[in-house]
Amino acid sequence: MNYKMSLPIAAVLLAGLCASPALAEDKGVIVAFVPSSTNPYIGQWAKGAQAKAGELGYTLKVIENNFNQAEQDSQVQQQLASGEKVAGYVWWPFENAAGVGSLRALSQSGAPVIVSNQYPIKGTEAYWTAYAGANDFLSGKTAAEILLDACAKSGVKCDKGAIIRFPAGVSAGDDRATGFQDAVKGKLDVLTVVPTAGFLEDEGYKVAAQIIPANKGQLTWLYTENDSLAGAAAQAARENGLVPGKDILIVGGTCHGDSKHVKNGEIAGTAIQSGYWEGWMAVQALGKFNTQGKVQDGETYLADNPDAPPADSDPVFKYNFLPNPAVGNSQAAYDAAKMWGKSADELCNF
Amino acid sequence: MLRMTNISKRYGATEVLREVALEVRSGEVMALMGENGAGKSTLVKILAGIEPADAGTIEIAGEPVTIRSPRHSQAAGVAYVAQELSIVESLSVAENVFLGDTDAGLFRSPRSLSTKARPFLLKVGLEQVDPLELAENLSVAERQLVEIARLLSRKARIAILDEPTAALSDAEILRVKGAVRTLADNGCAVIYVTHRMAEVFELSTRVTVLRNGRSFPSIETASLTVDTLIEHMLGRKLEQMFPARATRMGESVVELDQCIGHGLLAPISLSVRRGEILALAGQVGSGANAVLRMLAGVLPVASGTMKLRGAAFAPHSIADSIAAKVAYCSDDRKRDGIFAVRSVPENLSAPALDRVSRLQMISPVMESRHTRGIAELFGIDLAYLTRLAGNLSGGNQQKVALGKWLGIEPDVLLVEEPTRGVDVGARAEIYRHLRSLAERGLTVIFASSDTQEVLGLADQIATFYHGRMVRVVSAESSTPESIVRDVIHPTLAA
Amino acid sequence: MSIMTDVSPSAARRRSVPRFVWVIAAIVALYLVAGVITPSFATFDNMLVIVRAASITGIVAIGMSYVTISGNLFALSAAALGAFLAVIFALAVGHLGFAAGLAATLLVAILAGMAQGLSISVVGNPIITTLAFSTVFRGLAALFSGNSIVRIDSDIALALGTGRPLGVPTQSWAFIALALVSWALIRRARLGRLLVLSGANPQTAIASGLNVRLATVVAFVALSVGVAIMAVFTVSQFSQAKADLFAGYDFDYIAAVLVGGIALRGGQGSPLQAALGAILIALLQNFMLLNGFTAGLRMTVVGGLVLLATGAFHLLQRRLR
C-alpha cells in the first residue's frame, strides 16, 4: 500500500480527523482517489483541488496510488470499510475501464461522486454525479485548429504529416488523436500514427528521431499530443536539418513541459490545459452539487475568462469541461496568456 | 536370484566399472566391499536403474532383464535404500511404509493403512512406533527401519542397502542389523554395501570385493579374517604408484597444542616439520578434516593453541591463512576448488592476482609466465591452458585446484582428499608433484579416507576415528592392516 | 584402467564460437532483411539513428552487465536511480553550476552503488534488495523535486546534451567509449578479474582469498555510474528533470544484457555484449517503428526476442558441454 502524500496534505488530513463536527466552518471531508503525484500534472491537480476545498470549507483527503488500478481498488475498499462520513468523492481512475467496479462501489455509499480527468465510459452514468475535468477530444481539436491556423499564416504547404501519440491504452491519447483527426479530415494527410512508450521528452525524442529521417522530405507537420513530446520532436527535427516553424510545423496542443519551444516559435502554438484548474473545478463541481442539490443534463464548457474563475453559483451539468484556451507561439503572446486569473507561465511551468 | 555379468561403465574418460560380476542367492546377505571410489555405489545404482550400464547383462531368477530406469528395476523386484533416505517427513509412518505402492490405493483410510502397516513395522522392530505418527518425529535409525519395512511390504526379491549404518550410533546399528536379518529370513537376496568390518562378519554370508572398478570372485565370510579381507580390499601393488619418502626434514612449522573444534571430541596435539607430508587418515566424519579446517581459518578453534613457524597462529578467515602462506584445498572441488566456467590460466592466477598485475592492471605477460611456471611444477599440459577448467578431466581439474596455490609460494599446503574423483594415472602424477614440492621445503598436510594413498604418500600418519585422534605413526612402520584397523574399528586393533 | 587420456570426445571440437559473434550475426542479418523490406532502413543516416537510439539504454546496459557478470543477476533499481540522479543533477547545476553538479551527481551515484552493493552482501538477494532500493530512489526523486519539473539553464549542459561532434551525437560517443573502456576493464583490470571470478564461482573466489563483497560493491558502483551518465545526458538534452523520468525502462536494460548473451549465472560475458544487445534491440525497435507496429506489439516482439535469445544461448551452451 502506497499512500504517498505530501506533508501539507497529511497535515490537513490530520486536522480534519481531529476537528469536531461542531465547527461551523467545516463542511466535511472530500476524498479524492488519484494516481501518484510523482507525475507533475497530478501534483498540480492536487494543489488546485486543495485550494478550492480550503476555500469552500471542506477538508480534502487525497489518496494516491502508484499507477496501479488494483491498488486503487483496494484503497476504495478500505475507505468504504472505514465507514467515514464524507461530503463526497472525486474519482480519477488509473485505468478507466478497470476501475468501474470501484466507481460503482463509491456511488452506492450514497455520497456524490465527481469523476475527473478520465472521460467516463458510456453506460456508467448512474454511478457518478457529474464529470468535471479536461476534454481530450477538445484538446485534439484545439491542436488541429492551432496547426491549421499556423499553416494558413506561415504559408508552409501543409499536407503529409504524422501523429506521435501516447502509449496504447491511455484513453487521453485515444481521445486527443480522434479529436485531432476529426478536425483535420479532408485538410491534412496523416501518414502514420506512432505510439510512444511514455509522456516525456526522452520518449518523444526517441520516436521523433527515428520517424523524421525515415520520412525525410515528406513530413510537413507533427502532432504530438503534448508539449513535452513536441519540444523533443522539435529538437529531433532540428538535428535532421529541418527548421521547426519553417520546414515543419509541430504542435503539442497542451502546455506540458518546457515553454521555451513555444516562446521561440518552434512549436506552432499551444493551449493551456491546467492541472491546477482541473483539480480546482472538480472540487467546485462537488461543492456546487452539495449546495444546489441538483445536476442539469447535458454538457457545458466553462468559460475561458482570462481574469476570473467561473462562479460557484453557476449550475452544475452532467458534463463540465475544462476550457483549453489557445496560446500563440511568441514570447509576447505567451506572456499575455491568462486563464481564470493565473498566467500561462504559472499554469504550464510546474 | 541375481546374476550380474560383465558390467562396465565409464564417466567420460574415467572407467568406473570394468567387466564386473556379482551373484546373490535368495535368503543370503552379500556384503559388497571396497575402498572409496572402487565402484560399489555405481554398481548398485545400475541395478536400481538410477545409472545405465554401458555394457553387461543382468539376470533375475534366471530371466534376463533390461534395467534402464528405476521403474524397470522395481518391476523386476529390486528395492533400493539409498544413503540419502527417501522418507517423506510430512506423511505418517504407515503412509511411508506404503509410499509408491500402487495397490495401497484400495485401502486408503488411515486406520486400515495403519493396520496394514503394523505387521511390517513389527518385523523390523518398530512395534512401539505409532503407524499414524508423522515421519518427521522419527530418529534417523527409525527412518532407516521404516525404509526396510517398506522393502518387506513390497515383497522385494532383491534388496540393496547402501551404507545403512553410516550415520547411526552403535545401539541403533543393532536394530538395523536385526531388520536386515529379517529381510534375508523372508527369502530376500540382500546386497549390503558397507565400510564397517564388524557388520560384514556379523551379517553376511558371502563377500564380494571391488577394487579399482573390477570385481573378484565372492568369498564365504566364514573363511575370512579381518586381515585377509583388508588384503583383498587393498590389493598388493602400492609400490610403483608412490614416490620415495622424505630424505630430510627441517624444523617444526605447524604445531597444534590441545586443539579442539567442531567435529572433534577430544583435543588434538600435532607437530609437522618443514618438508614433511603428514596424512590425517580417517573415514568421513572422523575429525580428520576438522584439523585442516582449523588451520585454514574456516573452522574456529574452540580451545587450544596453534603455532605457525614458531609464532601463534589464529586465522579467522581463509584470507588470513593465505596471508600467512597457508593454502587450503577442500574436498569439494566443484563447489570451491575451481572456476569451472573460466580458463585454466585465470584459475591458476586467482589467488595471486597481485603477482600478475601492475598498476591494478593484469599483465598478460606476467600472467602467462605465472601460468607456465605452475603448469611446469604441477605437470599440467600446456595444451590445456586455453580450455575452460570445467571441461578438463577430474585429474587435471585437481591439478588446477592444487596448482593454483603454488602461485602464492605457500609454506603449508592443506588438502582434503587430494585425489578424490581422479583416475589412477593422474593420481600417481599428483603424488609425485606433491612429493617434489615437499622436497623444496613445502609442508603438506592432507586428510584422506584412502588407505593406499595415506600409506604411500605420507611420512607420518595420524589416524582418526569418531572425532578422536587414535595415534601418530611413521608410515615406514605402518601396514595397510594397521591403518585400516585404526580408522575402521580401533577396538579390533591388537 | 589402461587408457588414461584426458581428451573427452567432445573436447576436440570445443573451439566454440564466442557469443558476441552470434549477436553480431543477428544484427547483420536483421539489418539486411529489414533493409530489403523497408528501403529507408538500410541507409547510413538510419544506422546513425539506430546507434543513437541504442546509446542511452546501452550506457545503462553496459553498467548492468557488470552486475550480471559479478554473479548478482541484475538490478531493478536502475530506472528509479536514474530519475533520482537526474533530479540531483538538475538541482545541483541550478545551484552550483555545471562542473559541481556533475561532481555531485557522480558522488551520489557512487554512494548509491555502494549502499546497494553492501546491502546485497547482507540480504543476499539482489532482486529483492534492488526492488526495495528502487522505491527508495523514486521516492527520493519525488521528494527532492517536490513533484515538479526541475529546470536548468546551462549552455555547457545543452552543448553536452545536443552536440554532434563529427556529426555523431555525444550520447553515441559516450556509448561507444564506455563499451570499449568497460570491455578493457573487465578483461584486463584487476578489479575486473575479481568481478569475473566472483561471479564464476563465489565459493571458490572466497576460498582463493578474494573479496567477493568488494566485487559486488564495485559492480553496483559501475552500474550507478552508468546510470549517472544516462541521467546527466538526458537532463542536459532537455534542460529539465522530473521524478517520473525513465519509468518502466528497467526491462530494457536487462533485455539488452540478455539479448547480448551474457549468462545470468555470472562469471561469463563482457560489457561489449550488452552494448551489442542494446544495438540489436534498437535495430528491431526502429524497424517496427518505421513499419507502424503498435507499442503493444513492439513490447511483445522485444519480449519474444529476449526469450528467444536466452533459450538459444542456453541450448548453445548445452550442445557445447
pLDDT in tens, B61-87: 888 988 888 888 888 889 888 766 778
Pick the residue of B361, B370, B385, B386 with the most C CBs within 10 A to test the interface with C by mutation.
B361
Q: How far, in Å, CA of B192 to CA of B162, rounded?
A: 6
CATH architecture of B2-234: 3-Layer(aba) Sandwich (3.40)
Pick the residue of C194, C198, C208 with the most B CBs within 10 A to test the interface with B by mutation.
C208
For the domain made up of B239-492, give the CATH fold.
Rossmann fold (3.40.50)
A125 and A16 in a common domain: yes
A194 and A90 in a common domain: no
**Residues C202 and C290 sit within 8 Å (Cβ to Cβ):** no
Amino acid at B342: R
Residue range B43-64: mean pLDDT, rounded: 89
Residue A38 lies in a domain: yes
Residue range A163-170: mean pLDDT, rounded: 83
CATH classification at residue A122: 3.40.50.2300
Q: How far, in Å, CA of A138 to CA of A136, rounded?
A: 5
Amino acid at B226: V
Residue C270 lies in a domain: yes
Of B328, B339, B396, the CB nearest to C204: B339
Cell numbers at B295, concatenated: 588451520
Cell numbers at C157, concatenated: 549542459
Sign of CA dihedral A305, A307, A310, A311: negative
C261 contacts on B by Cβ (under 8 Å): none
Contact (CB<8Å) C203/B393: no
Residue range A54-76: mean pLDDT, rounded: 91
Q: How many angstroms separate the Cα of C158 from the Cα of each of A88, A208, B121, C55, C235?
A: 47, 19, 84, 17, 9
Q: How far, in Å, CA of A55 to CA of B234, rounded?
A: 98
Question: Closest-CA residue in chain B for C263?
Answer: B341
Contact (CB<8Å) B361/C189: yes
Mean pLDDT of chain A: 87
* Nearest C-alpha neighbor of C138 from the set C89, C75, C221, C77: C77
Q: How far, in Å, CA of A64 to CA of A68, rounded?
A: 10
Q: Which chains touch C (3 or more CB pairs under 8 A)?
A: A, B
* pLDDT cut 90: percent of chain A above it: 50
A213 and A92 in a common domain: no
Q: What is the domain count for chain C?
A: 1
Residue of B477 and C8 predicted with greater confidence: B477
The answer to whether A39 contacts chain C (CB < 8 Å) is yes
Residues 6+ apart with CB under 8 A from B466: B265, B285, B286, B287
Residue C49 lies in a domain: yes
Contact (CB<8Å) A214/C162: no
A48 and A20 in a common domain: yes
Asked if pLDDT for residue A263 goes beyond 70, the answer is yes
Candidate ranges A126-140, B112-126, C30-44, C293-307; pick with highest mean pLDDT? A126-140
Question: Closest-CA residue in chain B for C185?
Answer: B361
Contact (CB<8Å) B319/C204: no
Contact (CB<8Å) B350/C197: yes
Sign of CA dihedral A121, A122, A128, A132: positive
Question: Closest-CA residue in chain C for A257?
Answer: C149
Banded pLDDT at C9 (limits 50, 70, 90): very low
Residue ranges per domain, chain B?
A: 2-234, 239-492
Residue whose cell numbers read 582463493? C208
B370 contacts on C by Cβ (under 8 Å): none
Contact (CB<8Å) B342/C267: yes
Number of other residues whose CB lies within 10 A of the CB of residue A41: 23
Closest approach of chain A CAs to the CA of C141, in angstroms?
Answer: 9
Range of the domain at C281: 41-320
Q: Residue A163's beta-bridge partner residues? A: A193, A223
pLDDT at B36: 64
The least confident of A7-16, B103-112, B196-205, B363-372 is A7-16
* pLDDT cut 90: percent of chain B above it: 39
Banded pLDDT at A24 (limits 50, 70, 90): very low
Amino acid at C194: L
Residue of B307 and B214 predicted with greater confidence: B307
* Nearest C-alpha neighbor of B437 from the set B367, B368, B378: B378
Residues 6+ apart with CB under 8 A from B270: B254, B255, B256, B278, B291, B462, B469, B472
Asked if pLDDT for residue B476 goes beyond 50, the answer is yes
Closest approach of chain A CAs to the CA of C119, in angstroms?
Answer: 23
Q: Enter the DSSP assignment of B266.
A: S
Banded pLDDT at C14 (limits 50, 70, 90): very low
Q: How far, in Å, CA of A109 to CA of A106, rounded?
A: 5
The H or E element containing residue B192 is strand B189-193
Residue of B462 and C4 predicted with greater confidence: B462
Q: How far, in Å, CA of B392 to CA of B169, rounded?
A: 40
- Interface B:A, ≥3 CB–CB pairs < 8 Å: no
Q: How far, in Å, CA of C208 to CA of B337, rounded?
A: 8
Q: Residue B160's beta-bridge partner residues? A: B80, B191
Q: What ipTM did this prediction achieve?
A: 0.88
Cell numbers at B448, concatenated: 584422506
Q: Enter the DSSP assignment of C273.
A: H
Asked if pLDDT for residue C308 goes beyond 70, the answer is yes
pLDDT at C167: 84
Cell numbers at B325, concatenated: 602462506
Q: What is the domain count for chain A?
A: 2
Banded pLDDT at B37 (limits 50, 70, 90): low
Residue A335 lies in a domain: no
The answer to whether A239 contacts chain C (CB < 8 Å) is yes
pLDDT at A14: 43
Contact (CB<8Å) C11/B387: yes
Range of the domain at A127: 7-134+274-323
Residue A346 lies in a domain: no
DSSP sequence for A310-340? PPTTSPPEEEEE----EE-SSHHHHHH-EET
The H or E element containing residue A30 is strand A29-35
pLDDT at A75: 92
Residue C139 lies in a domain: yes
Residue C75 lies in a domain: yes
Contact (CB<8Å) C1/B212: yes
Q: How far, in Å, CA of C269 to CA of C262, rounded?
A: 5
A163 and A128 in a common domain: no
Q: How many angstroms separate the Cα of B18 from the Cα of each of A263, B38, C2?
A: 89, 11, 11
Residues 6+ apart with CB under 8 A from B397: B333, B337, B338, B389, B390
**Residues B354 and B319 sit within 8 Å (Cβ to Cβ):** no
Question: Closest-CA residue in chain C for A234?
Answer: C238
Phi-psi label, residue A123: left if phi above 0, alpha if psi -120 to 50, beta otherwise: left
Residue range B213-230: mean pLDDT, rounded: 84
Residue C140 lies in a domain: yes
Number of alpha carbons in the 13 Å side-chain half-sphere of residue B306: 26
Question: Closest-CA residue in chain C for A39?
Answer: C244
Banded pLDDT at C87 (limits 50, 70, 90): very high
CA C296 to mean position of chain CA atoms: 23
Q: How far, in Å, CA of A176 to CA of A185, rounded?
A: 14
CATH classification at residue C255: 1.10.3470
Contact (CB<8Å) C207/B337: yes
Q: How far, in Å, CA of B81 to CA of B62, rounded?
A: 24
